[in-house]
């Protein structure tokens, strides 16, 4: 992917985090979705509306870690957007009137391209390492970093408001 072009108003970081050697991650599985480059929804709401077969295939060494999850549970899936650019501090998205900082966006372009999806677990097969999800807005084959239970008692801010304005 060509990361040399930038839009008017965008600013690059002084370094490219993709070249750093300061973290070790273990992928625990892969996302299964109908989405490919050029045909991926922008968010979970759109993914749910378009429909399809969605899931996470969990690698064998990590399957025991699925114990305690069950159909109907909310889960947070953290995944690595491997092809995303990592060198922008300020971005100029088409849906904004002016450029804005990367940390004020849900864009895949970020220093560490970690994404999250809060989804519903429809079915689980621990032996096969299969989690069927209600939706996901990531490319088929995207590496999964972690799966966490969504807990309303801790995951909802008191007097929650919308994000950046």
Segment 107-114 mean pLDDT: 92
CATH number at residue 68: 2.40.30.70
Residue 10 located in a structural domain = no
C-beta separation of 109 from 85 below 8 A: yes
Does residue 93 lie within any of the structural domains?
no
Where is 48: in which H helix or E strand? helix 44-50
Q: How confident is the model at residue 160 (pLDDT cuts 50, 70, 90)?
A: low
106: Cα within 13 Å, side-chain hemisphere: 11
Domains held by the chain: number: 1
Q: Is the residue at 159 inside a domain?
A: no
User: Is residue 136, in this structure, part of any structural domain at all?
Assistant: yes
Q: Which helix (H) or strand (E) holds 152?
A: helix 152-155
Question: Residue 46 belongs to what H/E stretch?
Answer: helix 44-50
State percent of the chain over pLDDT 90. Answer: 67
Domain that holds residue 138: 26-86+115-148
Asked if the structure places residue 56 within a domain, the reply is: yes
54 falls within a domain = yes
> Which pLDDT does position 164 carry in this prediction?
60
Asked if 27 and 144 touch (Cβ cutoff 8 Å), the reply is: yes
Q: What is the pLDDT of residues 129-138, one digit of tens each?
A: 999 999 999 9
């Amino acid at each position: 992917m060509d990361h040399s072009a930038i839009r008017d108003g965008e600013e690059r970081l002084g370094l490219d985090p993709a070249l750093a050697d300061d973290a070790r991650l273990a992928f625990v599985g892969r996302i299964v979705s109908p989405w490919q480059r050029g045909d991926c929804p922008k968010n979970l709401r759109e993914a749910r509306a378009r429909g399809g077969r969605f899931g996470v295939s969990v690698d064998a060494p990590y399957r025991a870690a699925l114990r305690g999850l069950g159909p109907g549970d909310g889960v947070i899936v953290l995944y690595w957007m491997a092809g995303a650019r990592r060198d922008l501090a300020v971005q100029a998205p088409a849906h904004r009137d002016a450029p804005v900082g990367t940390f004020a966006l849900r864009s895949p372009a970020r220093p560490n391209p970690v994404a999250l999806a809060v989804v519903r677990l429809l079915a689980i097969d621990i032996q096969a390492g299969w989690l069927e999800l209600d939706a996901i807005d990531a490319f088929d084959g995207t590496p999964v970093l972690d799966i966490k239970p969504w807990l309303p008692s801790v995951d909802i801010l008191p007097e929650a408001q919308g994000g950046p304005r």
